[in-house]
Chains A and B, each alone.
Chain A
């Protein structure tokens, strides 16, 4: 496994006696290690560069304290900056004053949209909402059936007037779902869409058409936490092609560092709203920037210790 930033920096500072200030060579070596740690966490390269110069700035003026060793002090700075980019407070779903509130899910193939649709529905139901799931992926084999099972598990109704597997018009289904929700008094509509690539102009247009048909209150970009350097390209393509309001990170129950979170938050500037961490309906949480920062750095406990020092 990769070395944590903690280990890397400890190596850099091994020979260092408390000198009051870090030398330029210390700082350069430090920045190199931070750069590698972030790249190994899949933080986008351009984001790493900007990030490093911000951290370097702060390290240059750093008065070494007695309470913390240099490693701890620098990690604290890095962590601060990370949390700053990831966003201070989490934003909740914006509910429409005139129901139904419409939430549209979009993202790459296999990111976890359909699973998330079920989780959101179940979560909303617990909050006494009446959600309706909409099967607007008519492309992937048995996507409709998958959503129906997910809906059954979550105990919510699924609007699925078309069989899918290439049959039916997803834009029409999405449009009709709103009328259906109004008539049946569902107050939240969750639209599951087919996975699509950032480079697929035709399917991106289809998603934009779905968006126009349902006029969503929230478009959520669903992204796999294991994604690498392409995260930014993809997020940008979805933001330009459809436009989204928030991000959901999935598969956080694995050991991916999830540098994509930082990259997308930095480049697109949209909040990360939810974290998905399992295949079950309840494996889902609002996003915590501080936890994500520790995760990217690969050091949960270390930070708590530093906070206490």
Chain B
């Protein structure tokens, strides 16, 4: 894509001058910004690069690229544990809640995740706690049918917390391994809806512990992703991020800042609308994507 060309050009510029001037560094920074990395991480990254290149003396293109890649990788932190925690108490299902702003890909992610878990030999039940959006439950049920799992739903416009509770209770009764609860999209600025989400979680916890709260972020999201992550984390204690729509041209750079500030790792990525388009997050692949490699 064009942002990669910009990076290539910026790198070439960077290396074609003996003393790298301020404008060149500006261009270089700007290139990273094009991946939605944000001004803060970009500045940090370029400072680190600048320091390292000056210590090593004159740099060749390969060295610069290698240093950049390793600095980026350090920001993304390959050492984080990105596995899903699905250990549950005896006789109770593990519970995964899927949350996020409108239209990021929550329901789709629930379907794809169910597919992965079923393939892994686990029994799965879906809870349609989006009782608000038009045909949201039907959409989830269709996903359930695609991947061969049942869905617990309630009446349209009903109380999402009680649907979630029902799903978990039914999961416990039927010896289900994992219950995945889909929730309605909500903007983090809507306090009423955020309170409702907190309640959904608390009500589930009367029945079983919530193992994972996955925040679904759309890779096309810009700097607003940080606000989303902050508020959702405050309200329901997010344990992992799913970065969706990485099959498009957006790079999803915002997750770098999100992961760093909140310490919440990106665990999964969405790569399409099909049942198999969910993958574990791979730091090296992600960095390569930002660098257009």
Binding site for B on A (CB under 8 A): 1-2, 36, 39-42, 45, 49, 108-112, 114, 139-142, 145-146, 148-150, 153, 165, 197-199, 224, 226-231, 233-234, 237, 251, 253-257, 259-260, 279
Contact = CB atoms under 8 A, between A and B. Distances in A.
Q: Which 3 A-B pairs have the closest CB atoms?
A: A228-B222, A110-B103, A42-B222
B247 A197 contact: yes
B139 A142 contact: yes
A197 B107 CA distance: 18
Given A110-B102, A150-B134, A197-B245, 7 more contacts: A42-B222, A141-B143, A145-B135, A149-B135, A198-B248, A229-B36, A230-B248
Interface string B194-225: 00000000000000000000000010111111
Contacts of A150: 134
B183 interface: no
Contacts of B139: 140-142, 145-146
Interface of B: 1-3, 6, 30, 33-36, 38-39, 101-105, 107, 111, 132-135, 138-139, 142-143, 146, 187-190, 218, 220-225, 227, 245, 247-251, 253-254, 273
B224 A42 contact: yes
B222 A256 contact: yes
Given A110-B218, A226-B101, A234-B220, A255 B227 contact: yes
A45 B33 contact: yes
Contacts of A40: 38-39, 223
A257 B249 contact: no
A206 B253 CA distance: 30
A101 B107 CA distance: 34
Given A45-B34, A226-B224, A229-B222, A146 B134 contact: yes
B48 to A, nearest CB: 19
Nearest to A114: B134
Contacts of A146: 133-135, 139
A253 B189 contact: yes
B187 A253 contact: yes
A195 to B, nearest CB: 8
B36 A228 contact: yes
Contact of A39 (B33, B142, B251, B254): B33
B95 to A, nearest CB: 23
B227 A1 contact: yes
Most B-side CB within 10 Å, residue of A229, A233, A260:
A229
7 contacts: A39-B33, A40-B38, A109-B245, A112-B102, A146-B134, A254-B189, A256-B224
Contact of B224 (A114, A140, A149, A255): A255
A142 B182 CA distance: 16
Chain B, interface SS category: loop
Nearest to A164: B142
A197 B39 contact: no
Given A40-B39, A197-B247, A234-B249, A226 B189 contact: no
B1 A145 contact: no
A142 to B, nearest CB: 4
A102 to B, nearest CB: 23
Contacts of B273: 109, 139-140
B103 A224 contact: yes
B26 to A, nearest CB: 9
Contacts of B134: 114, 145-146, 149-150, 153
Nearest to A43: B222
Contacts of B254: 228
Contact of B222 (A148, A198, A199, A226): A226
A73 to B, nearest CB: 25
Contact of B3 (A36, A153, A229, A260): A229
A254 B135 contact: no
A233 B2 contact: yes
Given A142-B135, A142-B139, A255-B189, A2 B223 contact: yes
Contacts of B142: 141-142, 165
Contact of A110 (B36, B39, B104): B104
B159 to A, nearest CB: 18
Nearest to A256: B224
